């Protein structure tokens, strides 16, 4: 059997930051409201001219360094993003060119906040079937570009950033199982309504029914935890680390309670980054690997929920 193993992780955050106090001057909110309702203290935002691919490239180079590989060792590049630099070429093709790689498969994957989990699932299938040997999987977002900075219900939540992992074929897992789901019946609760043929400027920004999203997210993430444990014959106490999508500390706490996991075993970065969509799990993962919390051999559960709705999980023996 062939499995995929995580060789290295990397991440990158743009230098510019915006605190909750800064937001008080933009919309009718308070720093305390934001902190208490979301757990967010600040977020990183791209500067003029800085793009999603800039963030993706920096995170990818970090991950390749950690993996001890050259870009030309790659035979698959997947970028999970909702905020590509251009309609096309894909951000993955732009990244491939910057990395000086030619010929390997490269494509973007769009599943909003679940994008990285979906991308890991897809890359894992490529490796398991022998279609790829060494894959770069990036989650990169510039959500600030699709944020309505006059809408207090959304603009306090999101940030920009990128995270990446390098996978390699191995005889033992590695990625043990991936669980991907979607239900388009919820399309109206979280969306950017504009698109081709529907391009009014006011439709180019995120719209969210936050309270309803919150309720569905909590119950759905509880179910995905159960599904992942049951599929692998595991009990809650087998999980060493939860690496959740960083949308809201209250959603993260609810999932940790579902797993009977103390918060010390949950990687939490939402205070510093806000919700960076597809970038949030690899950003959190990289931080906990680099600060020495997550060690080789430990069992990791990643889970995410986002627009679509999409949701999913990845169980990994790191």
State the nearest-atom distance from the C-beta of 298 to ligand ACO, in Å.
26
Stretch that binds ligand ACO, among 72-80, 191-199, 287-295, 302-310 (CB under 6 A): 302-310
Site string for ligand ACO, 35-74 (x = CB under 6 A): --xx------------------------------------
Q: Is 33 in the site for ligand ACO (CB under 6 A)?
A: yes
Distance CA 281, CA 285 (A): 6
Return the number of other C-beta atoms located less than 10 Å from residue 150's C-beta: 11
Contacts of 36 (CB under 8 A, 6+ apart): none
In the numeric block, which tokens belong to residue 242? 């939860």
211 interacts with ligand ACO by CB under 6 A = yes
Strands 241-244 and 134-142: unpaired
Task: Give the binding range for ligand ACO (CB under 6 A) out of 50-58, 90-98, 258-266, 299-307.
Answer: 299-307
When binding is defined by CB under 6 A, the residue of 190, 224, 266, 301 that contacts ligand ACO is: 190
| Catalytically annotated residue among 44, 179, 245, 273 | 245
Q: How far is the CB of 275 from ligand ACO (least distance, A)?
A: 6
Q: Residues 104, 76: contact at Cβ < 8 Å?
A: yes
Ordered DSSP codes for 243-307: EE--S-HHHHHHHHHHTT--GGGB---HHHH-B-GGGHHHHHHHHHHHTT-S-TT-EEEEEEEET
113 is catalytic: yes
Question: Which of 80, 112, 137, 140 lies at the binding interface for ligand ACO (CB under 6 A)?
Answer: 112
- How many beta carbons lie within 10 A of that of residue 230, not counting itself? 9
Total binding residues toward ligand ACO, as defined by CB under 6 A: 24
Interface pick for ligand ACO out of 73, 75, 181, 214 (rule CB under 6 A): 214
Site for ligand ACO in 136-155 (CB under 6 A): 152-153
Does position 213 interact with ligand ACO (CB under 6 A)? The reply is yes
Burial class of residue 16 in the structure, from the number of CB atoms within 10 Å of its CB (0-12 exposed, 13-18 middle, 19+ buried): middle
Q: For ligand ACO, which is the closer residue by CB, 66 or 247? A: 247
Task: Compute the distance between CA of residue 194 and CA of residue 212 in angstroms, rounded to an integer.
Answer: 21
Non-local CB neighbours of 175 within 8 Å, separated by 6+ positions: 3, 4, 5, 6, 120, 124, 167, 314, 315, 316
44 is annotated as an active-site residue:
no
Q: Whose Cβ is closer to ligand ACO: residue 67's or residue 80's?
A: 80
**229 binding ligand ACO? (CB under 6 A):** no
- Under the rule (CB under 6 A), what is the footprint of ligand ACO? 29, 33-34, 37-38, 112-113, 152-153, 156, 190, 210-211, 213-214, 217, 247-248, 251, 275, 277, 305-307
Where in the sequence numbering do the catalytic residues fall? Answer: 113, 245, 275
């Amino acid at each position: 059997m062939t499995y995929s193993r995580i060789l290295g992780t990397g991440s990158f955050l743009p230098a510019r930051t915006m605190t909750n106090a800064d937001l008080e001057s933009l919309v009718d909110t308070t720093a305390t409201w934001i902190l208490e309702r979301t757990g967010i203290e600040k977020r990183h935002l791209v500067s003029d001219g800085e793009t999603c691919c800039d963030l993706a490239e920096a995170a990818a180079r970090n991950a390749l360094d950690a993996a001890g590989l050259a870009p030309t060792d790659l035979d698959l590049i997947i970028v999970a993003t909702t905020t590509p630099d251009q309609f096309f070429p894909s951000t993955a093709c732009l990244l491939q060119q910057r990395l000086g790689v030619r010929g390997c498969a490269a494509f973007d994957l769009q599943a909003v906040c679940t994008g990285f989990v979906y991308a890991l699932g897809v890359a894992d299938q490529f490796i398991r079937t022998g279609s790829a040997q060494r894959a770069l999987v990036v989650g990169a977002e510039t959500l600030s570009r699709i944020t309505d900075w006059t809408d207090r219900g959304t603009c306090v939540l999101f940030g920009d950033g990128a995270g990446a992992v390098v996978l390699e074929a191995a005889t033992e897992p590695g990625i043990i199982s991936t669980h991907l789901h979607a239900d388009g019946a919820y399309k109206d609760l979280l969306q950017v309504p504009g698109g081709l043929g529907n391009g009014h400027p006011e439709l180019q920004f995120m719209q969210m029914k936050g309270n309803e999203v919150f309720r569905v997210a909590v119950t759905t993430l509880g179910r995905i935890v159960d599904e992942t444990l049951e599929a692998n014959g595991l009990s809650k106490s087998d999980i060493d680390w939860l690496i959740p999508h960083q949308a809201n500390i209250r959603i993260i706490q609810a999932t940790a309670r579902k797993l009977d996991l103390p918060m010390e075993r949950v990687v939490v970065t939402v205070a510093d980054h806000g919700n960076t969509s597809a970038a949030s799990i690899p950003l959190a993962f990289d931080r906990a690997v680099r600060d020495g919390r997550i060690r080789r051999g430990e069992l990791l559960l990643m889970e995410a929920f986002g627009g679509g709705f999409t949701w999913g999980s990845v169980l990994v023996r790191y």
